[in-house]
């Protein structure tokens, strides 16, 4: 439900007419992750979707039943079910969907919507609610309902960023409070069983579905130009919190950066130092430097490369990269730390315009932060096997590929992004029988401007 809070703002005005369907468990190949939701009104009006069209019609039918009966139910859909084909589940996976009348959730949802409107909250928070113990629908067919539980249901619980579980709730769920708190801490979703530990067999007496979101990962872009405009816009669409900083007030404007959440006029090195001191830079932060001036680039790069950041990259030519290496390493930065720099930046997709470069940069950032970038490059899906939607890794140690965008440091840019830099100060390069891997070629493409990304 947290995935569409803003879209659900109108539903709380007439909660008795609405049902929310939420994916609470998945296995195999499925199009959407746990926590994906859609809302259904009593006249079949829908908001969102949960499977890209596979099971929506069956969910609408179940939602209308839930509105009439005013009770929650769990529906399971799987390719192995005889009726799975009838509802269009062709992807080969299995999903469990919680169908829930909005009425008992209305107050909690309203609190979350109000919190999401506050920029400081940054959409972070959690929703914990009790779900039925048994499945009511399997493969589009109703099954016999379980006998009602004599226990009074738990009221939904909402949490703000960093807020602990209410004491009364923690006492009510006993030892289940620990796994609930852990899911909230890492910003995940999951089902937690509450067991009666007074009985020898410790039966499950309640089930809780925990939905939580951490604050958005940040992208700090230093240097205001056409590339920062495009990257800020694209990063915002990815759900990242974007800050653009430049010392020049003429260029650091909101009008030039409609996709940025913050536009700051300041020296990049000083701004980055303050953000670090305030604890606003962590292992999920991305820093992109586009200033084209070593006075601004080097202080940010030197500090960022000494930190535990998910991704650090720099836009600039190979000549610029070599000069940065000399300045930073000779200035005391360990070589191993410098080697973590993704420069030149971006995936080698032939990008040249600011918008294309933004796609290449953010595609590389996603690949690195999800663990898909390796020394062998990033394979195309058609050349891979196994699940398409795999779990994300926390980080990756991959180098960056090349990018070809105009740069004043290069006297005559080569049309071949894998060719040696023609600049007069470029160091000689040894020929190798094996071509550079795609990530290194990608970095070259963005060598035409100075950008640094440290994604956390």
- Span 223-248, pLDDT tens digits: 999 999 999 999 999 989 999 999 99
Q: Are 118 and 265 in a shared domain? A: no
Closest CA to 137 of 82, 246, 58, 209: 58
Q: Looking at 332-432, which runs of residues are DSSP E strands?
A: 341-342
CB count in 10 Å sphere of residue 245:
29
Q: Are 306 and 202 in a shared domain? A: no
Q: What is the per-residue burial (b if ≥16 Cβ within 10 Å, else e) of 440-456?
A: bbbbbbbbbbbbbbbbb
Range of the domain at 383: 218-427+434-445
CATH number at residue 410: 3.40.50.720
Cα 168 to Cα 152: distance, rounded to the nearest angstrom: 14
Question: Which parts of the chain register pLDDT below 70?
Answer: 52-54, 79-92, 116-123, 136-150, 374-376, 379-384, 386-456
Q: Are 283 and 419 in a shared domain? A: yes
Q: What is the per-residue burial (b if ≥16 Cβ within 10 Å, else e) of 174-183?
A: eebbebbbeb
Q: Are 225 and 92 in a shared domain? A: no
Q: Are 107 and 57 in a shared domain? A: yes
Q: What is the pLDDT of residue 139?
A: 57
Q: What is the pLDDT of residue 436?
A: 37
Largest CA distance in the chain: 82
DSSP run (H or E) holding 169: helix 167-173
Torsion region of 124: left, alpha or beta (phi above 0 gives left; psi -120 to 50 gives alpha): beta
SS3 (DSSP) at 415: coil
Q: What is the pLDDT of residue 247?
A: 94
Residue with tokens 């859909």: 77
**C-beta of residue 300 within 8 angstroms of C-beta of residue 268:** yes
- pLDDT per residue over 383-440, tens digit each? 667 665 555 543 333 333 333 333 434 333 333 433 344 443 333 333 333 333 333 3
DSSP 37-64: EEEEETTS-EE--SSTTSSHHHHHHHHH
Closest CA to 2 of 111, 134, 131, 154: 111
Helix 354-369 and helix 438-445, axial crossing angle in degrees, nearest 10: 140
Q: Are 275 and 420 in a shared domain? A: yes
- Decide if 170 is inside a domain: yes
Cα 314 to Cα 252: distance, rounded to the nearest angstrom: 19
Q: Are 200 and 315 in a shared domain? A: no
Domain boundary among 213, 244, 269: 213
Domain boundary among 193, 213, 233: 213
Cα 214 to Cα 206: distance, rounded to the nearest angstrom: 26
Q: Are 56 and 162 in a shared domain? A: yes
**pTM of the full structure:** 0.68
Domains: count for the chain: 2
Q: Are 185 and 317 in a shared domain? A: no
Q: Are 279 and 200 in a shared domain? A: no
Q: Looking at 139-231, which runs of residues are DSSP E strands?
A: 141-142, 157-159, 189-195, 204-213, 218-222
Q: What is the pLDDT of residue 226?
A: 95
Total residue count of the chain as it appears in this document: 456
Q: Are 203 and 307 in a shared domain? A: no
């Amino acid at each position: 439900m947290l995935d569409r809070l803003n879209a659900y703002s109108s539903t709380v005005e007439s909660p008795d007419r609405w049902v929310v369907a939420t994916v609470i468990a998945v296995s195999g190949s499925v199009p959407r992750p746990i926590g994906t939701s859609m809302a259904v009104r009593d006249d079949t009006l829908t908001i969102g979707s949960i499977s890209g069209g596979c099971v929506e019609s069956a969910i609408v039918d179940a939602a209308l039943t839930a509105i009439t009966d005013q009770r929650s139910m769990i529906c399971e859909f799987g390719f192995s079910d005889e009726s799975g084909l009838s509802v269009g589940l062709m992807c080969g996976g299995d999903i469990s969907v919680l169908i829930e009348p909005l009425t008992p959730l209305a107050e909690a949802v309203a609190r979350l919507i109000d919190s999401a409107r506050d920029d400081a909250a940054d959409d972070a928070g959690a929703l914990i609610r009790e779900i039925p113990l048994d499945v009511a629908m399997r493969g589009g067919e109703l099954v016999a309902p379980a006998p009602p539980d004599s226990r009074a249901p738990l009221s939904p619980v909402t949490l703000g960023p960093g807020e602990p579980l209410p004491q009364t709730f923690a006492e009510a769920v006993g030892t289940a409070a620990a796994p609930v708190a852990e899911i909230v801490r890492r910003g995940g979703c999951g089902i937690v069983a509450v067991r009666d530990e007074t009985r020898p067999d410790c039966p499950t007496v309640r089930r809780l579905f925990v939905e939580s979101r951490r604050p958005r990962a940040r992208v700090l872009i230093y240097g205001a130009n056409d590339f920062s405009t495009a990257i800020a816009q694209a990063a915002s669409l990815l759900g990242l919190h974007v800050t653009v900083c430049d010392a020049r007030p003429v260029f650091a404007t909101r009008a030039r950066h409609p996709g940025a959440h913050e536009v700051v006029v300041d020296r990049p090195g000083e701004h980055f130092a303050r953000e670090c001191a305030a604890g606003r830079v962590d292992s999920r932060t991305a820093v992109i430097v586009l200033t084209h001036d070593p006075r601004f680039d080097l202080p940010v790069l030197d500090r960022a490369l000494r930190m535990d950041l998910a991704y650090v990259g720099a836009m600039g030519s190979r000549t610029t990269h070599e000069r940065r290496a000399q300045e930073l390493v000779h200035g005391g930065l360990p070589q191993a730390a410098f080697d973590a720099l993704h420069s030149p930046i971006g995936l080698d997709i032939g990008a040249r315009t600011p918008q294309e470069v933004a796609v290449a940069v953010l595609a590389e950032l996603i690949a690195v932060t999800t663990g898909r970038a390796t020394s062998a490059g990033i394979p195309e899906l058609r050349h891979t096997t196994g699940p398409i939607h795999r779990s994300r890794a926390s980080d990756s140690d991959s180098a960056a590929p090349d990018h070809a965008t105009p740069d004043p440091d290069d006297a005559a840019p080569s049309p071949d992004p894998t060719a040696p830099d023609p600049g007069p100060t470029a160091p000689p390069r040894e020929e190798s029988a094996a071509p550079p891997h795609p990530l290194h070629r990608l970095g070259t493409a963005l060598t035409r401007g100075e950008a640094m990304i440290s994604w956390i």
